Amino acid sequence: MARERQIILDTETTGLYADRGDRMLEFAGIEMKKRQLTMNNLHLYIHPDRDIPEEAAAVHGITLEQLEERNAPKFEQVGRQIADFLRGAELIIHNARFDVGFLNMEFARMGLPSIEELDCEITDTLAMAREKFPGQKASLDALCSRLDVDRSKRVLHGALIDCELLAEVYLAMTREQFDLVGAEETAAAAQSADTGIAVQTAGGGLRILRADAEETAAHLEYLAELDKASGGQCLWTAEKTEQA
C-alpha cells in the first residue's frame, strides 16, 4: 500500500564516501501527498565541520566560506529536525544508496535512528529509470531530456533544484501507472456523482462510462451530417453497422 506522505529528497556532500570522513553540506526534501506538492518543504545548508575539496565545490558550487557567511548550522543542530521530517514517509531519491548512506552516517553520529528505523520506505528513481528505459542513460539530466522536464535553471548540482526536477521526473515516470489504477476510477466516480451518467465496473476494475440520452442524440446527429457530407459513405451509421 502506497504511503500517504512522500518526500522527494536530495543531498550535497563534501565527497562520495560516507564511511571515509565525507560529510553532508546541503539537505532538501519536498513533501508530496496524493501526487500534489504540499509546499511543506525542508531545505538546509549544513556546515560540514571539515574542509570542502575543490573538486566537490566545482560540482555543487558550495564553499566553506559561503556556509560560514550563511552561519550554517552543523548537522548536530539540525539532525533531529531532519529525522522528524522524514519519519514514516516514502522517500523518493535518485540513486538512493548514496543519500541514505550519508543520512544514516550523520544520524549514527548523533545516536539517532537510521532511515530504516524511522519506518521510511525508499523508492529509487534510478532503479525505476533503468527498468523503464533499459540500456539508456538514467541520470537526472538524461531523464529530464527524455521526459521533457525543463532543467534550464540547473547550472550546478543543488539539492533543492534537483528535488524539484526529480519530483517532475517521478510524476512523469509514474503517470501512466497512476492513470490506469487510480485516476480513471476517481474521475469516473466523480463524473457519475456529478452528472448521473451510468457507470459499470468491467473486468480488471476499469470503469466504463455510458453516454446519456442527450449525448447519444448529439452523436447520432453528427453521424447523420457526416453521412450527408460524404454522399452516403459514412460507415458508422446504425444502418451500415447492421449491414456489416
Strands 90-93 and 5-13: parallel
**Any binding-site annotation on 227?**
no
Other C-beta atoms closer than 10 Å to the C-beta of 8 total 28
From the list 43, 47, 94, 157, the catalytic residue is 157
Cα separation, 208 vs 201, whole angstroms: 7
Confirm whether residue 148 is marked as ligand binding. Answer: no
* Three-class SS state of 168: helix
Note every long-range contact of 101-107, with CB atoms under 8 Å and residues 24 or more positions apart, other chains counting: 101/18, 101/19, 102/11, 102/13, 102/18, 102/22, 102/24, 103/11, 103/24, 104/18, 105/18, 105/19, 106/23, 106/24, 106/75, 106/79, 107/79, 107/83
157 has catalytic annotation: yes
* Torsions phi, psi for 3 (to 5 deg): -70, 145
10 labeled part of a ligand binding site: yes
Tally the residues of the chain.
244
Q: Is 162 annotated as a binding residue?
A: yes
* Alpha-carbon dihedral 107, 122, 175, 148, rounded to 10 degrees: 50
Asked whether residue 55 is marked as a ligand-binding residue, the answer is yes
Which amino acids are annotated as binding site for substrate, given as ranges? 10, 12, 55, 60, 162
- Residues labelled as active-site residues: 157
Which amino acids are annotated as binding site, given as ranges? 10, 12, 55, 60, 162
Which amino acids are annotated as binding site for a divalent metal cation, given as ranges? 10, 12, 162
